[in-house]
Amino acid sequence: MSHHTIAVQDVRYNYPDNTQALQGVSFLITHGESVALIGGNGAGKSTLLSLLVGIVFSTSGSVNVGGLKMTPQAAADIRRRIGMVFQNPDDQLFMPTVFDDVAFGPLNLGFSTEQTQEIVNKSLETVGAAHLIRRSSHRLSTGEKRAVSIASVLSMTPDILLMDEPTSGLDPWSRRQLTGLLQNFNHTRIIATHDLDFAMDVCERTIVLQNGRVVADGPTSRLLRNEELLAGSRLELPLRLQSF
């Protein structure tokens, strides 16, 4: 299923002030993989996600999503395959009510009112937020906003799911709900996170970024036990592996 794959080849990205954010990043993610993207602040995680969804474009190298090379001309087609959950849910929720936010995507894809209602109900039920359907999106708690922002992405039935720090601000119950959701999501997932226990729960593979470079790529169970590797990225062992 090539439409679920991501191929990144020698990608470099410079900020407008010419600061190098990504320096020769390469990897291949195949259908159904769940991949954690970890690294300290400034390692390049959010920039890389922005490149994958076409918010910004690489200075050099190539990004290929589902058989299409990411270019300004192809970005709209590629975005139909990718759902992006931003770190701050307020960047994603902009409609008057929860229903309107989750319905926005399906309605713009041409679904009928009846079909959209069904999609909204199912998406909100999936994230445990069906009771919020008539609430104002901007009067929710952080965890509730996070759940609704995920539902708004799921309503678009993406082939690939990108998430930037999805557990930030979540209480333990909401975090468990999200963990269960992602464990049962069958398509390709890339999750940028500092929450290494969460990464161990939902990602079989981990890519480690340091200063805009990939320094490790392999099984999560092995990489997240490597104290020296994690320390080089200003990270610590997952809490479950630490001795107190």
Q: Which of 97, 124, 157 is the last residue of a domain?
A: 157
Residue 115 belongs to domain spanning = 88-157
How do residues 157-212 score in pLDDT, each as one tens digit? 888 999 999 888 778 887 888 888 888 887 899 999 999 999 999 999 999 999 99
Q: What pLDDT, in 10s, does the model give residues 74-122?
A: 998 898 889 999 988 898 999 999 999 999 999 998 999 999 999 999 9
Q: 23 and 130 in one domain? A: no
Intra-chain end-to-end CA distance of the chain, in Å? 45
| 69 shares its domain with 163 | yes
Which of 99, 128, 157 corresponds to the end of one domain? Answer: 157
pTM listed for this prediction: 0.90
The total of structural domains in the chain comes to: 2
| Cβ neighbours for 40, distance < 8 A, ≥ 6 positions apart | 210, 233, 234, 235
Bin 39: left if φ > 0, else alpha if -120 < ψ < 50, else beta: left
Minimum mean pLDDT among 21-35, 57-71, 172-186: which range?
172-186
Task: Please name which of 64, 10, 20, 66 lies closest in space to residue 42, comparing C-alpha atoms.
Answer: 20
The enclosing domain of 60 has a CATH number of 3.40.50.300
Give me the percent of the chain exceeding a pLDDT of 70.
98
73 and 6 together in one domain: yes
Q: Is residue 217 exposed (0-12), middle (13-18) or buried (19+ Cβ within 10 Å)?
A: middle
What does pLDDT average to over the chain? 91
Check whether residue 138 and residue 24 sit in a common domain.
no
Predicted local distance difference test score (pLDDT) of residue 168 = 83
Confidence of residue 244 (pLDDT cuts 50, 70, 90): low
Distance CA 129, CA 140 (A): 11
Give yes or no: residues 19 and 95 share one domain: no
CA atoms within 13 A on the CB side of 17: 2
In a domain? residue 124: yes
CA–CA separation, 50 and 39 (whole Å): 16
Residues 17 and 119 in one domain: no
Determine how many CB atoms are found less than 10 A away from the CB of residue 185.
16
- Is 152 in the same domain as 162? no
